[in-house]
Amino acid sequence: MLILLGTVVAVTSSVGAPLIPAVADLHDVPLHVAQWSLTMPLLVGAVATPALGRLGDGPHRRAVVLAALGLVVLGGMFTALPLPLGFFLTGRGLQGFGLGLMPLLIATARDALPPDRSKGTIAALSITVVSGVGLGFPIAGAIATYASATAAFWTATVVCAGALVAAALVLPAAPPMAPRRFDLAGAVLLGAGLAGALVTLSEGEEWGWSSARVLLVSAGSVVALLAWAAVALRVRAPLIDLRLARGRLASAGHLSVFLVSLSNYLMMSSVPIFAQTPTVSGYGFGASVLVAGAVLLPFSLAGMLAGPLSRRLGERHGPRVVLPVGALLMAASLTLFALYRADLWVLFVVTAVAGLGVSTVFAAAPGLVVAAVPQRETGSAMALNQVGRYTGFAVGSALTATVLAAVTPADGGLPDGAGYTVIGVVGGGVCLVAAVLTGLLVGRTAAQPPSVAPRDSGATVRA
C-alpha cells in the first residue's frame, strides 16, 4: 500500500510533463511559461516535504498524509476545470503536496514493518518517484492523444481520489510519541528562497539577467535562504535540522540525490519537447503526445529493474561503488543525448540508461541517510533528502526553460537545436561531478549513528 501511494502521487505530479506544449496552446503562452506546469509542483514539493515531515514526526502522521492527499485532489480539480492559467498553476502547485509525502511513507515503513521487510520497502519507495514519473508520461500522453489534455488531468484527479480513500481505510497510525513543534518561520523562508531562485532561473532570459527585477528577486532569494539557514541552526525544533547533514555518509547521500535529480529533469523536461518539435525545425520528430510519453516508458521500466540490482551491488561492493555507478550511468545518458539525436530510437535508449542511473542513486542514498541518524529523526532526515531531490528536479526544469528560451528567436518560433546539446553537456557534466564527489565522501567508511545527539524537539506542535 505504501508503494502504491508513492507511485500514485508521483504519477499525478508528473502528468504535466509531456503536456507542456499542449498547455502552451491551451493557455496561449510560450513554452517557457508553460514549463511552470512542471516546475510548480516540484517547487511546492520541495517546501512541503520538510513541513509534512516535521508535522508527521509525531502522532499526527496519518492525519497529515490524508490532508496532503486531499490537497492533491483539490489541485487536480483546478487543473481539470476550464479556469485561467493562474488557477491552473495553483492547482499544479497543490498537487506538489503529494511529493512531500515520501518521508512520511518511509518513516511508516520503518515503524510498521519488521526489519527484514522495511529495508526493501524503503529502497522501493525511494524509486517510486522514478517509476511513477515514467508511468505517468505515457499514460498522460495516451489520454491526451485519444481524448484531450483536460481528460488527462481529470484522470489523474480521480486516481488520486481513489488513493485517498484507500489510505483512509488501511494506513496505520504512527506509534505513540510526543508531538513536535512546527517551524513556521523556517517554512516561509525556505519557500520564499526557493521560489525566488526558480523565478530567477526561469524568467532571467525573458527579463534580462542584469535587469532590476532579476537582481531584486535573486538578492531576495539569497537573503531568504541565508535567513532560513540561520533560523534552522538556532531554533530548538527547526523545519530541517541541518546538523543531520553532517558527516561524510549523510553528505554523500544528500549531494548525490540533488545533483542527479537536477540532471534528471534536464533530460525529462527536454526529451518530450524535443520529440514533439515539428520536423520543419530540422531536428524534431513531430511526434504525437502519445509517442512523446512513450519515449519515457523505458525510464520507468529500467528504474524498476535498477532497484534490486543496486541492492545486490551494494551488498557486494558497498555505497562507495553504487552511488558513483548510478551517477556515471546518468552522465552517459545525457552525453548520448548531447552527441546524437538524429533517430527516434536514440531517445528510448537515453531514457532507459537514465532510468537505471537515477534509480540506482535513489535506491542507495536513503540507506546512507537512514543509517546515519537516530530512528527518532528518520522523518526529518529523509525530508532533507527529499528536499534535495525535489529542489534538483525543480532547478533542472527551470534550467531547461532558460536554455530553450535563450536559443529561441526574439520574434518567436522554435528553439535552435543547439540548446538541446547544451542541456546534454551541462547535465552530463553535473553527473560526473556527482560521481567524483560521492566516491570521495563515502570512502570505505561504514555507516555510524551521528555523534551529535538530536535536539530537543519540544512537546507540542505550534504554528
- Kindly state the helix (H) or strand (E) to which residue 301 belongs, with its residue range: helix 297-317
Between residues 20 and 353, the one the model is more confident about: 353
> C-alpha cell of 269?
523536461
* Global model pTM greater than 0.85: no
Percent residues over pLDDT 90 in the chain: 33
Between residues 16 and 253, the one the model is more confident about: 253
Q: How confident is the model at residue 400 (pLDDT cuts 50, 70, 90)?
A: very high
Q: How confident is the model at residue 24 (pLDDT cuts 50, 70, 90)?
A: confident
Instruction: Return phi, psi of residue 181, to 5°.
Output: -70, 150
Between residues 20 and 262, the one the model is more confident about: 262
d(CA 235, CA 383): 18
pLDDT score of 444: 54
pLDDT exceeds cutoff 90 at 77 = yes
Residue keyed to cell 488520486: 160
**Class of domain 2-182+239-442 (CATH, top level):** mainly alpha
The CA distances from residue 83 to 28, 35, 268, 280, 354, in Å, are 13, 18, 27, 33, 36
> C-alpha cell of 17?
510533463
pLDDT in tens, 162-207: 889 988 888 777 666 666 678 889 889 999 999 999 889 888 878 8
pLDDT exceeds cutoff 90 at 420 = yes
Domain positions in the chain: 2-182+239-442, 183-238
Query: What is the DSSP secondary structure assignment for residue 211, as one 8-state letter?
Result: S
Average pLDDT on 70-76 reads: 94
pLDDT exceeds cutoff 90 at 117 = no
DSSP string, 156-191: HHHHHHHHHHHHHHHPPPPPS-------HHHHHHHH
